Amino acid sequence: MNILQLSWKNLINKPLSMLLSTILFALGVGLVSLIMLLNKQLDQQFARNLEGIDMVIGAKGSPLQLVLSSIYHLDAPTGNINIGEAKAFLRPEHPLINRAIPLSLGDSYRGYRIVGTNHNIIDHYGAEISEGKIWEAPLEVTIGSRVAEREGLKIGDTFYSTHGLDINEDLEHDDAGAFRVVGILQPGGTVIDQLILTAAESIWEVHDHAPAPVGAAPAEEEHDHEAGEEHAEGEEHTEATHAAPATDIPLHERVDKDITAILVNFKARNAMTLNLPRTINENTNLMAANPSYEISKLFDQLGLGEQVLRWLAYIIIGVSFLSIFISLFNSLKDRKYELAIMRTLGASPGKLFLLIIFEGLLLAVLGYILGILLSHVGIEMIGQFVKKADRYGFTGKTFLPGEGWLFLGALFVGLLAAVIPAWQARQTDIHDTLAEG
């Protein structure tokens, strides 16, 4: 039997002590690993959706709320802005702006946000069509891959929007036109996967639509509803399920209409673009927010909680270090005679030293493996929960280089905890121990 096998036999000889040390070590390692996985995946997803957006223009209010609602679709909008006031920033010939993406928010379908916008949003996210086409007329929609997957929507399906961002059938716009799915996007790993995209005119038409007066003759319309949908006898209410003709008036000329926000990409970064948000905030009724700055502030605020959790993990690892040390140290009292016998059978002091060192390293390796398993299973469970809430997903199927360094750190802790007990084992006096017998 080699030294490693003998070390393992010694550990399992005291299962409760081994279990306590392993669980403590696993909790510390698992918490550190979980924090690293969460931070990395949050950074990646926030950065991916933020890329290429230099400024967000919207209604006065909280800049962070404007950024979260317009870029990440995680909050309620700050309000609407008039196109007449924002016209200059929507003009294609603006000297500083490379791309402007208008957003009209406020409606949803089963919790998925309907975004009135233009085709620039497709180019911005590098999205590609999986089926069908990009919308061309009002009330046509192109939907993200997650919307299609979760709701089972297919090309040609129709649905009614709901006022607000919550699922509430009482707020359904069933007195207006139904949206018709004309395209489905490929999965891209960005926020666009969970959006329903349409023309800004669609949002205006739904909200400007007025029910027909009682007694008015119903207009003849074609219906895209599935067969079997019936109207009550004598009902004068009509439903416009066909898209209205697209207007030839450019969006920035519709000065009588409102939108929610504008995502802006600059042609270049210079002094003029750097000062543009401040100029807008000071001289207009609009608010301009720097998304990178706002998200950095958000992460700074979250950083305190992260540090608390990280220090808690380090404390747990420290307690596990003491647990391993005390376990090995106390075991020497019961094993002095055994170690002396091993010496008489030819074991060198160095072998006894390695015997205890391997015990400390084995406990560290077991704790590390269990901790990594707990952290990855935990992040996978978090990902499934978040996915059900239609938010950003997390996965435990990825491993970080930092977890390799964490393994080396675990080995160091196990080695450090075993050094003093191992040195005492090496110094075992054969004659005195056997005489005490």
Domain boundaries, the chain: 3-45+304-436, 55-289
Q: Say if residue 389's pLDDT is above 60.
A: no
Alpha carbon 364 to its chain's center: 31
Q: Say if residue 54's pLDDT is above 80.
A: yes
Question: What is the distance between the alpha carbons of residues 371 and 8, in angstroms, rounded to a whole number?
Answer: 20
Average of per-residue pLDDT values in the chain: 80
Q: Model's pTM, two decimal places? A: 0.71
Residue 95 φ/ψ region, left for φ over 0, alpha for ψ in the -120 to 50 degree band, beta for the rest: alpha
pLDDT band at 248 (very low <50, low <70, confident <90, very high): low
Q: Say if residue 34's pLDDT is above 60.
A: yes
pLDDT band at 222 (very low <50, low <70, confident <90, very high): very low
Cα first-last separation, the chain: 25
CB 127, CB 192: distance < 8 Å: yes
The three-class DSSP label of residue 164 is: coil
pLDDT band at 303 (very low <50, low <70, confident <90, very high): low
CB 22, CB 370: distance < 8 Å: yes
> Please, which residues have CB within 8 angstroms of residue 404's CB and are 6 or more apart in sequence?
none
Q: In terms of Cα–Cα distance, which of 251, 311, 266, 275 is closest to 83? A: 251
Percentage of the residues of the chain whose pLDDT score is greater than 90 = 29
Q: What is the CA radius of gyration of the chain?
A: 32
Q: CA separation (Å) from 376 to 19, 64, 382, 394?
A: 21, 31, 10, 10
Q: Say if residue 310's pLDDT is above 50.
A: yes
CB 101, CB 124: distance < 8 Å: yes
Q: Say if residue 377's pLDDT is above 50.
A: yes
pLDDT band at 414 (very low <50, low <70, confident <90, very high): confident
Average pLDDT on 351-357 reads: 82
Q: Say if residue 311's pLDDT is above 50.
A: yes
Q: What are phi and psi of 291, to 5 degrees?
A: -65, -40
Largest separation between any pair of C-alpha atoms in the chain:
114
Q: In terms of Cα–Cα distance, which of 150, 161, 245 is closest to 197? A: 161
CB 96, CB 264: distance < 8 Å: no
Question: Checking DSSP bridges between strand 140-143 and strand 179-185, what pairing results, if any?
Answer: parallel
